[in-house]
Amino acid sequence: MSPVSFYLGVLLTAVVAVSIGFVAWRVRGRILPGFEGAPARLAEIVLGLGLLVVLSEALGLLGLLHGWALVTASLLLVLIAWLRIYPVEASPDSRPPVPGVSTAAAVIALAVAGIVVAQWAAIASHSLDHGITNFDSVWYHLPFAAEMFQSGSVLGFHHPETVFLNWFYPQNSELVHTAGMALTGHDFLSISINMGWLGVALLAGWCVGRPYGRPHLTMIAAAVLLATHTLVAREPGTGKNDIVAIALILAVIALLINRGAAAEDGRGRISPDWAMATAGLAAGLAAGTKVTALAPVAMVTFAVIFATVDGKRLKAAGVWFGATLAGGGFWYLRSLIASGNPIPQIESIGSINLPGPERLQVGRPDFNVLHYVTDFEVWRDYFVPGLEKGFGALWPLLLAVAILGLVALIWKGPGRLTRGHAVAAFLAILAYLVTPLGAAGPEGEPTAFAINLRFLIPALAMAIVLVPLLPWFDQRRPRFALTAVLLLLFVAGSRSDSIFDIPGRYFGIAFALLVVVLPGVAWLFGDSLRAGLRGRSPLVPSAILVAAVSVVVAWPLASHYSDSRYMDFEPEAGLAGPYRWAEDLTDSHIGLAGSTAGFKQYGFFGKDLSNEVTYIGREVGPEVSRRFPGCREFLGSSQHC
């Protein structure tokens, strides 16, 4: 990778990002003119992401998911938006209220956001120094993205092994990684993608409380979960997608809350309109990212129908489901056509057997949490230590705030929509208890409970960001008390060691200063700074400065990443040598064989991602790849690598 080729990729990425951003801005101005400020930016992000996903799927259906096609298509969309889509004037009743927020509250929120971003960036710097080493990322997330990059198609099923059927997972998040690979020819952008999703989650948290004058509280509530060990230890700088589902679920709540706060249909009521469609698109994008997001999305669907004005619920269902299917339906349709089941991992519902591929191997037992709910030994040995590791020593307080807050909201929430969301969050938490793999592991030993607490976080995030909306916190003292509790939970549960103890701490702090503190200061002191800028917003020059610094430092960071990528990958497992061997190979065919679940295959794709990595097994249609039963069958196979 030369500086010229690298910056050409940066240029193409910027062209696509700016083009899609312009189209999303133009569309939002037409369909949601009443949204301004932070909710408008959130709506534009959702529209832009939806546009990127749908566009990539359309190109992938034709085998054209390549950089030149993305650039061409995005520029054509800009032309259409410029010529055909015009902003309209918003009616006063369509504008969500914007109560003022004190400077002190904004400073506290900015500080919390800066700390979270610094934590995540510090952990992400490990990928800059070593390559993306997270297990799930090198097992299937990034191999799926690399395969789509190589083929330009979204129709294939890449089999990384024979056990978990993860090639049937929805792959919206992998599609975003694929777009980055197609535009740049490498995976450097993949390190920063989850940092972007973190920003979306924090923005959505802010927007939830904005119509009620307490955006700082709802954003801090979101940060409580975003800073926990469960996420910080595994999401930053990787291909994992739990943060994607969390960010999108929070975006759904934020968009609907802002729409319901407007006076158009009465406080807490909504109509089937473009705001509902945009929120439905975000819900579909979440469902198209993780199967475990289906439960929160389903519960929010009930809340939407419940809060719709009388006489329009049938139309609301059509708008909501149409937008949701646009955002995430493709992957489930692909699985349905290939296997007869949109979610092939689910083999039965009660006594009803569902169609799907025959599985000759299975992974670890997929017990759920409810299976052990009365087993006190499991609670003592696994659940309590897992909750403390995942959410900090004050995890009982965190759960109490979320659950008791939901109960209070169900009875005293400000409006029908908020009460519906509270019920949805409560039911989503209950759905976690029966989620397969929530307590995975041998009978009596749910060893995966702690790591799979991430399945709970979308529902828990829905709950905790709603709590500050209770009418009790209209009063100053209760609001101060809640602020203190949330800050206490943030400090007790966050990964503060990522700022103070690990090698990437200086990178994390510098990153937060650049992307949070600098724009934050421009926002906080905008009125004072306007005088020196002849009335212009200081956010524009601050954004230009952030972009300029990012472009300048990008090449040194990318060069360092390229030189150190997978040079020391798990030497104790014997993979350092093979990974180093594959790094400089190009356009080669590499085969993997065996019966181990979870091959760590991504490093074999090489620096330019041109190597074709294949699990050597018996292909049984697109549904499954089975291992050979013995050496004679393996040696006599017709597959070659």
Write out pLDDT tens, residues 367-405.
899 999 999 999 999 999 999 999 999 999 999 999 999
Q: Collapsing DSSP states into helix, strand and coil, what is residue 198?
A: helix
Q: Which residue from 85, 113, 100, 184 is spatially nearest to 554, judged by alpha carbons? A: 184
Domain membership flag for residue 393: no
Q: Taking the CB of residue 533, how many other CB atoms lie within 10 A of it?
A: 13
Domain membership flag for residue 582: yes
User: For residue 626, which phi and psi values (nearest 5 degrees)?
Assistant: -105, 145
Domain span including residue 627: 573-635
Is residue 570 within 8 Å of residue 133, measured between CB atoms?
yes
Domain membership flag for residue 16: yes
Tell me the C-alpha to C-alpha distance, in Å, between residue 22 and each of 17, 48, 589.
Answer: 8, 9, 41
Q: Which residue from 259, 344, 353, 350 is spatially nearest to 308, judged by alpha carbons? A: 259
Contacts of 211 (CB under 8 A, 6+ apart): 96, 97, 98, 99, 257, 258, 261
Per-residue pLDDT band at 629 (split at 50, 70, 90) = low
Q: Which residue is associated with the tokens 């700016």?
A: 18
The answer on pLDDT for 26 being more than 60 is yes
Domain membership flag for residue 142: no
Q: Decide which of 79, 95, 111 is a domain's last residue.
A: 95
Tell me the C-alpha to C-alpha distance, in Å, between residue 191 and each of 47, 133, 238, 239, 616.
Answer: 23, 11, 6, 8, 29
Q: Taking the CB of residue 430, how many other CB atoms lie within 10 A of it?
A: 13
Domain membership flag for residue 586: yes
Beta strand extents in 310-351 (DSSP E only) = 348-349
The answer on pLDDT for 318 being more than 60 is yes
- Considering only residues 82 and 568, tell me which one the structure prediction assigns the higher pLDDT: 82
Contacts of 194 (CB under 8 A, 6+ apart): 120, 124, 235, 236, 237, 238, 240, 243, 244
Average pLDDT of the segment spanning 527-552 = 80
- Give the Cα separation of 389 and 382 in Å (integer): 10
Domain membership flag for residue 281: no
For the chain, the first-to-last Cα distance in angstroms comes to: 26
The answer on pLDDT for 31 being more than 60 is yes
The answer on pLDDT for 358 being more than 80 is no
Q: Collapsing DSSP states into helix, strand and coil, what is residue 637?
A: coil
Domain membership flag for residue 238: no
Q: Which residue is associated with the tokens 């006076």?
A: 263
The answer on pLDDT for 308 being more than 70 is yes
The answer on pLDDT for 360 being more than 60 is no
Per-residue pLDDT band at 615 (split at 50, 70, 90) = confident
List, for residues 160-198, the tens digit of each pLDDT value. 877 778 899 999 999 999 999 999 999 999 999 999 999
> What percent of the chain is modeled with pLDDT above 70?
93
List, for residues 473-492, the tens digit of each pLDDT value. 999 999 999 999 999 999 99
11 CB burial (10 A radius; 0-12, 13-18, 19+) = middle
Average pLDDT of the segment spanning 10-32 = 97
458 CB burial (10 A radius; 0-12, 13-18, 19+) = buried
- Considering only residues 366 and 565, tell me which one the structure prediction assigns the higher pLDDT: 565
Q: Which residue from 282, 319, 316, 307 is spatially nearest to 42, judged by alpha carbons? A: 282
Q: What angle do CA 56, 139, 69 make, to 5 degrees?
A: 15
Average pLDDT of the segment spanning 587-593 = 88
Residue type, 580: R
Please give the structure tokens belonging to residue 153. 């198609």
Average pLDDT of the segment spanning 436-454 = 91
The answer on pLDDT for 409 being more than 90 is yes
The answer on pLDDT for 303 being more than 50 is yes
Per-residue pLDDT band at 362 (split at 50, 70, 90) = low
**Residues 524-532: contacts with CB within 8 Å, 24+ apart?**
524/103, 524/106, 524/107, 524/110
587 CB burial (10 A radius; 0-12, 13-18, 19+) = exposed
- Give the Cα separation of 222 and 457 in Å (integer): 10
Domain count, the chain: 2
Per-residue pLDDT band at 640 (split at 50, 70, 90) = very low
The answer on pLDDT for 553 being more than 60 is yes
Count, in order, helices (H) and strands (E) of the chain: 27, 6
Q: Decide which of 47, 77, 95 is a domain's last residue.
A: 95
Provide the Cα torsion 481, 486, 489, 495; round to 10°: -140
Is residue 460 within 8 Å of residue 203, measured between CB atoms?
no
> What percent of the chain is modeled with pLDDT above 90?
75
Q: Collapsing DSSP states into helix, strand and coil, what is residue 594?
A: coil
Domain membership flag for residue 89: yes
